[in-house]
Structures are given as structure tokens and as C-alpha cells.
Amino acid sequence: MEDSAAIISEINRLKKEKNAIVMAHYYQREEVQDIADRIGDSLALAQFAAQTDADMIVMCGVHFMGETAKILCPDKKVVVPGGREAGCSLADSCEAGAFRKFVEEHPDHTVISYVNTSAAVKALTDIVVTSGNALKIVESLPADEKIIFGPDKNLGGYINSVTGRDMVLWPGACHVHDRFSLQAILDMKKQNPGAKILVHPECKRQLQIVADKVGSTAALLAFAREDEADKYIVVTESGILHEMQRACPQKTFLPAPAEDAECQCNECEYMKLGTLRGVLEALRSGEPEVTVDPEVAALAVKPIERMLELSK
């Protein structure tokens, strides 16, 4: 069995040999974040993919992130070390056939879909958004434009509460963000009165309301970097604490517990399927490769490119 140092050295050798780039989401395991060439939120990962001149993208995240990269870079090899099992409960809460029917029932609406969707759902979409740009993109539309927002009802509700736009929401949710306990977070706040509460917009409304900052992983990280407090209760997947702690070593970050959690953190099991060994195997074999039906990709690329354009 190779040790971590040997695995990392072989990863670095293969990256050069194959002209590959390793990208990782903030929810990945610490050791995977540490070896990545690029680390970011969902928006940054799409932007990195659109800009890279590497021949191979090792996307350490979940399947839809690999699909987005493949749609943007059809000529590159894209691999997701966690494989097809690295799914997303939020993307799975929006099946393309049902979403098509929903879109047909609201013919005069602009369709905005969160990046956490399958390529087939993106193909039915006018503009893709992430939690990092959803507010800006919705605000850029004419005030009287009717909007379908899917699939995250909590993010959609948040955008709706800030903008007051005419929006119909698809009733989807992420099983990780939807299960944070308000009571547990209020108890933590009582025990840590100076701590600020950082909340991802995929969390329920009652958690957004008690937050000092609501934002994407990158926005929460930027807030923690710039803010003057020294302690934070972090209400999102606990993988982000690694980068927060690295960026702000003098500050304390407390992971918020889930409603039914036995431990003190809240992890996405799909994100944790990415491992150092998985990155090595993916580089060696070029598997598990992400493929997208070219007809679906030809439709899905338009709303993704629109998002990248509107995010400049």
C-alpha cells in the first residue's frame, strides 16, 4: 500500500505527463483540497474549466460539476474520481421529464436553474446560476419578468425574499443543507455569544433569518476573511472549514450540527467519495470519464455560457 507522500508524488508526475489539471470543491476531503491546482465554489469551478488549456480535467466534486466541465470543454477528457455514485440529492430532486412538464405549465416564464442539476435539466433552462451569482443574475433581468427557479426551494426562496421578483419555485432541496437544526445553532450561539453565524442559502429560511451572512461557500469564506469577528458558526457542509481555517488561522470556526447528527458536523457523503487514491486512479486510467449526450450538451451549453457572461 502506497503512503500519501508516494501517492501525491505519482499524482504530480501523471499531471505533467497527461497535461492534466486537478480542480476541487471546498466540500472535498482536506487531503484532496490540499493537492488541487484550483479550489473553489461551483461558479469558480465552471470558470476554471472554461479557461483551462489542460487536456484533462480531474474534477474533484460531484457528477454535475464534471458534466458542467465536459459541456464547456467537449474536446477534453473530464474525470470525476468519486465516479457516477458521486451524485447530488438536490440534482436528483429534479427529474428532467417532470421539470419539462413544469416548464410547459409556465410558458411565459424565464427558466433559471441552479448549477446543481443534470445536463438534461440544463438543456431546458434559459440561464444557469450558482449560489454565488443567482442574486446578481435575477436582478439583471427586467423587473416584470416572470421566473421559474429550480430546483432548490431554499435558494429560490432566499432570492425571492431579497428581490421580490415574480418567481415560481421547484420544490427541491439538498439533504445536507435542509437538515440543519435551528435550535442547535441557537444553543451554540448562546454558548458562543460573540460568534457570527454563516449560512449557505440552500439552508431553510429560519436559518437564513438568524444569519449574519448568507452566501455561497466562496462568499462565506470571503466574509470570514474580511470580517473583524474571531469566531463563526458555519452552517454548510463542514468541508469548507478546512479552507476557512487555512485562510484565517487565528480565527475559530465551529461546524453546525445536523438535526439528527451524532457528530458535530454535517457532511455530504457524495462529496466525500473523492479520495487521494481516487485522484491517482483517475489520472492513471482516465476513468471514471464523464460523458454527455452531444445533443443535450449543445442545448445545455447555452445557459451555462450565459451564466459565465453575466458573471463577468
Using CB under 6 A as the criterion, which residues of the chain lie in contact with ligand 13P when the complex forms? Answer: 41-43, 116, 130-132, 174, 202, 216-217
Question: Would you say 214 or 271 has its CB closer to ligand SF4?
Answer: 271
Q: Does 271 bind ligand SF4 (CB under 6 A)?
A: yes
* CB-count exposure of residue 14 (10 Å: 0-12, 13-18, 19+): middle
Contacting residue, 20, 23, 73, 88, with ligand SF4 by CB under 6 A: 88
Q: What is the closest distance, in whole angstroms, from the C-beta atom of residue 87 to ligand 13P in the complex?
A: 11
Q: Does 41 bind ligand SF4 (CB under 6 A)?
A: no
Question: Would you say 52 or 131 has its CB closer to ligand SF4?
Answer: 131
Contacting residue, 41, 67, 237, 243, with ligand SF4 by CB under 6 A: 237
Question: Would you say 43 or 301 has its CB closer to ligand 13P?
Answer: 43
If you search the block for the grid coordinates 468541508, which residue do you land on? 239
Q: Say if CB 21 and CB 60 are below 8 A apart.
A: no
The CB density around residue 41, as the number of other CB atoms within 10 Å, is 24
Q: At what angle do helices 217-226 and 240-247 cross, to 10 degrees?
A: 20
Contacting residue, 71, 176, 240, 280, with ligand SF4 by CB under 6 A: 176
Question: Would you say 64 or 102 has its CB closer to ligand 13P?
Answer: 64
Integer Cα distance of 76 and 71 in angstroms: 10
Please enumerate, as own/partner, the contacts of 102-110 that have beta carbons within 8 Å and a separation of 24 or more: 102/148, 102/150, 102/170, 103/148, 106/146, 106/148, 106/168, 108/146, 109/146, 109/147, 109/148, 109/168, 110/141, 110/145, 110/146, 110/147, 110/148
243 is in the binding site of which of ligand 13P, ligand SF4, none (Cβ under 5 to 8 A by kind)? none
Question: Would you say 140 or 264 has its CB closer to ligand SF4?
Answer: 264
Q: What is the closest distance, in whole angstroms, from the C-beta atom of residue 193 to ligand 13P in the complex?
A: 27
42 is in the binding site of which of ligand 13P, ligand SF4, none (Cβ under 5 to 8 A by kind)? ligand 13P
Residue 23's nearest CA partner among 7, 4, 43, 3 is 43
Stretch that binds ligand SF4, among 72-80, 175-183, 208-216, 281-289 (CB under 6 A): 175-183
Question: Would you say 76 or 177 has its CB closer to ligand SF4?
Answer: 177
195 is in the binding site of which of ligand SF4, ligand 13P, none (Cβ under 5 to 8 A by kind)? none
Contacting residue, 270, 273, 280, 307, with ligand SF4 by CB under 6 A: 270
Q: Does 174 bind ligand SF4 (CB under 6 A)?
A: yes
Question: Would you say 148 or 174 has its CB closer to ligand SF4?
Answer: 174
Q: What are phi and psi of 85, to 5 degrees?
A: -70, -20
Contacting residue, 62, 115, 188, 292, with ligand SF4 by CB under 6 A: 62
Integer Cα distance of 237 and 216 in angstroms: 11
Q: Say if CB 185 and CB 235 are below 8 A apart.
A: yes
